[in-house]
């Protein structure tokens, strides 16, 4: 679970409800927490947003929405220093001979790197190994971009459906304005009409747009790690000395993670 995401959502909700409580109980504002709860407003915003996403994206992408949200919740491994260490260990085995390199494949933890080294063991050329691994990175980025775009669309559509709900509420409120006691109910009716706009803004700015940004950041981080491993597989294919492998791969990581042997 991504702890930063959880802390951010909890802080956002805490500050929002805390501010409402302060206004109600300390400053003595009229109303109660019940004024902010509306099942029809929630249905208009969430249901309308989901319907729009289904119109905009193929069904198999919408069906995988839970997977996309799960990917956001999963913590990203931002440390690339261990990848360099693993690559240097494999490079040391490669210098000893093909048999040692083949045995080292089974101990590789990263599946992307494991496939790359296996290609070296299988005798693929340097160009073939590079092309295959870079193609995998390219199409993984495209798949993840669809998930990012879907989350961003949900963030863009939520406020729009909040406005739709507000307009519906205003129509209903004004339709009864001419009746008995209509003027007395104007304030309450306006408040109820604005709840959907509030829901849309909260969905967009606390959940879906930040989640889309986090998904994009994770894609960038994963691609950086993958490009490091592509270069590692290339260096192993060229049978470079582990010291050279480490120095070259250190270019991909922050100086704080550098190791020198």
pLDDT of res. 178? 60
pLDDT digits (tens, 9 = 90+) for 159-214: 999 999 999 888 878 776 665 555 555 666 677 778 999 999 999 999 999 999 99
Domain extents in the chain:
1-37, 38-257
Structure tokens at 3: 């702890």
pLDDT digits (tens, 9 = 90+) for 107-146: 998 999 999 999 999 999 999 999 999 999 999 999 999 9
pTM of the model: 0.83
Rounded to whole angstroms, how far apart are CA atoms 47 and 96? 61
Of 154, 150, 148, the closest CA to residue 207 belongs to 154
pLDDT of res. 61? 87
Rounded to whole angstroms, how far apart are CA atoms 93 and 87? 10
3-state secondary structure of 180: coil
Angle of helix 81-96 relative to helix 242-249, nearest 10 degrees, comes to 160
Reply yes or no on whether the pLDDT at 105 is more than 60: yes
Specify whether the CB–CB gap between 155 and 209 falls below 8 A: yes
Q: Name 209's Cβ contacts closer than 8 Å, sequence gap at least 6.
A: 151, 152, 155, 156
pLDDT of res. 6? 87
């Amino acid at each position: 679970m991504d702890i930063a995401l959880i802390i951010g959502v909890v802080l956002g909700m805490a500050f929002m409800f805390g501010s409402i409580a302060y206004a109600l109980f300390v400053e003595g504002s009229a109303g109660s927490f019940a004024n902010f709860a509306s099942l029809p407003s929630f249905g208009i915003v969430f249901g309308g947003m989901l319907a729009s996403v289904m119109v905009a994206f193929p069904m198999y992408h919408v069906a995988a929405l839970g997977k996309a949200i799960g990917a956001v919740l999963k913590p990203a491994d931002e440390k690339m220093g261990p990848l360099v260490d693993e690559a240097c260990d494999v490079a040391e085995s490669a210098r000893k001979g093909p048999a040692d390199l083949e045995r080292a494949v089974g101990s590789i933890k990263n599946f992307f790197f494991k496939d790359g080294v296996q290609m070296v063991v299988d005798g693929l050329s340097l160009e073939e190994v590079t092309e295959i691994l870079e193609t995998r990175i390219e199409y993984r980025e495209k798949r993840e971009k669809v998930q990012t775009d879907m989350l961003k669309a949900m963030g863009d559509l939520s406020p729009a459906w909040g406005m739709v709900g507000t307009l519906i509420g205003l129509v209903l409120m004004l339709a009864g304005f001419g009746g008995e006691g209509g003027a007395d109910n104007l304030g309450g009716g306006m408040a109820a009409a604005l709840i959907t706009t509030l829901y849309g803004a909260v969905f967009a700015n606390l959940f879906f747009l930040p989640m889309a940004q986090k998904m994009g950041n994770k894609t960038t981080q994963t691609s950086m790690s993958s490009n490091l491993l592509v270069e590692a597989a290339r260096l192993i294919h060229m049978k470079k000395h582990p010291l050279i492998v480490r120095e070259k791969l250190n270019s991909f990581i922050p100086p704080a993670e550098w190791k020198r042997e």
